[in-house]
Structure 1
Amino acid sequence: MIKSKSIKQRVFEIIQIGSREDVPSRIGDFIIVATILLNILVLFLGTFEELKRYFGLFKVVETTTIILFSVEYVLRIWTAEYIYTDVGKMRARFKFLVSPEGIIDLLTILPFFFLYGFAAFRILRVVRIFHLFRLNVNYDSFNVITSVLLEKKNQILSSVFIIVVLMLASSLFIYGAEHDAQPLAFKNAFSGIWWSLSTIFTVGYGDIYPITAVGKIMGGIITFLGVGSVAIPTGIISAGFVENYTEMQRNRLSEAKNKTTGSITIEKKSEDVGKLINELEKKYGVDIVVILRNGVMVMAEDKVRAKADDILIYRDIV
């Protein structure tokens, strides 16, 4: 039983995003990434009639990747208890099955085995594209985006509400101005929804457009209002990114300082300028945690080279 649990835990570590020190886990990550990209590639190539002669090969590749997806799906169900550690095994497996990631995994493989012949269900194959999110889900860039959207959701929803109100109002206005001149194009108030949508977002397809003087003036005003309205959520999200990134940098610096015992300043004429971080760690016999460069914190990776005026924050090797 202990051996089985140890194997299960090791499988869990391998199929999750692993650390650089864990070679099997990194190999597992590479296999999953390659499988996802290969599966998406054949999905796109399979839409080209010019490549019809290779459809048999595409089918073999797709089948192979789906089998790998299926194996991974089963292993994730088996090891779900290590994701949801606060509940029992069966409860943990159920939580994974109904989680967004579990549903995407299921919709990725289900149409291939059972519903492949139905055109409506073949569309579900597109769901596998969402696997690409897993390539970035454990990295700071993705976490920053999701956290900003969650923190600013009320402001974003308010700005979207403003856009919807403006779109409905512009639809009513353009209907009143253009109905008599273009009864077919603007049959009712909702006929202007498509026009107002393309105008507010400044895409302007040109299939429906005002021809009266009042309609053109109104169209110009709505275009200016639309540009400002669309800029509101953009500004909210941009400000959220700045706030989140600043806070993240502050927390990292505070955490790094708590773990460190000193710092080294790289002088402009120092022989350390241009040396790799791992070379400096060997030279000074320390573990460099982080680099402060022009007020910005840089992670102390082995292939990073030291620059003049860098401050290397380190901790003693125990």
Structure 2
Amino acid sequence: METSLKHTLYLLLEDQEGRDPRARWVRAFLVVLILLNVLAVIVETMEDVSQTYRHLFRSFEYFSVAIFTVEYAARLWVCSQCQSNGGGLGGRIRHALSPLMIVDLLAIIPFYIPFLLPVDLIFLRAIRLMRLLRVLKLGRYSDAVQVFFTVVRLKKEQLAVAGFGLAILLIIASSLMYYFEHEAQPAIFGSIPHAMWWAIITLTTVGYGDAYPVTGMGRFLASVIALLGIGMFALPAGILSAGFVEYGHMKEKEDEPSDSCPGDD
């Protein structure tokens, strides 16, 4: 009986081949519940609505946490049905540490933190806002999102190098601008960390206009940094584009279906 129930739950929650037609309804229900949770967090910030329907919001939160908690526990229980996870406690720990399972845990843990730890009102509000993390659970039910994260993993080294280069450019730009503009604008470029705000805004080509150079050398540096910023932020886009092409070629060469389980990538 237990084996039959575990296998049925596995087909409903984790089976990628869709061998149980009821799995589609389970997925649809969970997706709608996630979207409703995100909508509830947004609407709850409207004080008049929040006060009027406070009990309704609270009841919906209890219902959602109960469903997501049962889902998380059920996924841990049935993970032994997948051969790649293995059995026993070690297999469940490996499955619990997979990216999608960590996201599932983050979706429910903010609800339980106030019951486990003494928190003040400000921290409690921050914890409640963390419910927005439940939107990340949609990644489990979206093939496009999973493909994106797969591409990021394929190109993580190149992306890390690009991020490191961007950090170096940010430090150099803010340091030079501090020395060029500190005497002319001590209030705006009072330190290198203050100059970093200008560097970030310039590198991203946003340009709020609240901080800008007035000296000749400062303006020359700003021009160079603005041009470099365009290239630096185009670099990750090119890496990801190449990653998507590489992923497409990998999928074309696959002759046998993978025996990996959802959440283990």
Same fold (TM over 0.5): yes
The letter for the 2-side match of 1:207 is D
Distance (whole Å) between structure 1 residues aligned to residue 147 and residue 250 of structure 2: 11
Identity of aligned residues (%): 33
Residue 239 of structure 1: aligned partner: 242
RMSD: 2.4
Supply the distance in 1 between the matched residues of 2:243 and 2:76 (Cα, whole angstroms).
Answer: 35
Contact 1:17 1:26 (8 Å CA) reproduced: no
**Corresponding residue of 1:87:** 86
Q: Is the 8 A contact 1:16 1:29 kept in 2?
A: no
Q: Which residue of 2 aligns with 1:22?
A: 20
Residue 210 of structure 1 corresponds to which residue in structure 2? Answer: 213
Per the alignment, do residues 109 and 154 of structure 1 end up closer, same or farther by CA in structure 2, a change over 3 Å counting? closer
Q: Aligned letter for 1:74?
A: A
SS in 2 for 1:183: coil
What residue number does 1:39 align with?
A: 37
Q: What displacement does 1:150 show?
A: 2.1
Cross-structure match for 1:48: 46
Residues 1-318 of structure 1: pairs in structure 2 closer than 5 A:
3-16=1-14, 18-19=16-17, 22-52=20-50, 53-83=52-82, 85-115=84-114, 118-136=124-142, 139=143, 141-248=144-251, 250-251=252-253
CA contact (8 A) 1:19 1:26 kept: no
The letter of the residue matching 1:51 is: V
> In the aligned structure 1, how far is the partner of 2:246 from the partner of 2:103?
32
1:191 is displaced (CA, Å) by 2.2
**Contact 1:19 1:25 (8 Å CA) reproduced:** no
Shift of 1:114: 4.7
CA contact (8 A) 1:18 1:25 kept: no
Structure 1, unpaired ranges of 5+? 256-318
Give the superposition deviation at 1:134: 1.2
More divergent stretch after superposition (110-119 vs 127-136): 110-119
Contact in 1 for aligned 2:9/2:78 (Cα 8 Å):
yes
Deviations 1:226-271 (A, max 9, x none): 11121112112112222322443x437x78xxxxxxxxxxxxxxxx
Higher share of residues assigned helix: 2
Q: Which has the higher contact order (CA 8 A, sep 6+)?
A: 2
Change (3 A) 1:220 1:240: same
**Pairwise CA distance, 1:99:** 3.3
Aligned to 1:311: none
Q: Which has the higher strand share?
A: 1
Give yes or no for contact 1:199–1:223 (8 Å, CA) kept in 2.
yes
Instruction: Give the match's secondary structure for 1:203.
Output: coil
Which runs of no fewer than 5 residues in structure 2 stay unpaired? 116-120, 257-265
Distance in 2 of aligned mates of 1:243 and 1:103: 27
Q: How many residues align?
A: 248
C-alpha distance 244-181 of structure 1, shift in aligned 2 (>3 A) = same
CA radius of gyration, larger in: 1
CA distance in 2 between counterparts of 1:96 and 1:67 reads 21
For residues 247 and 101 of structure 1, what CA distance do their matches in structure 2 show? 22
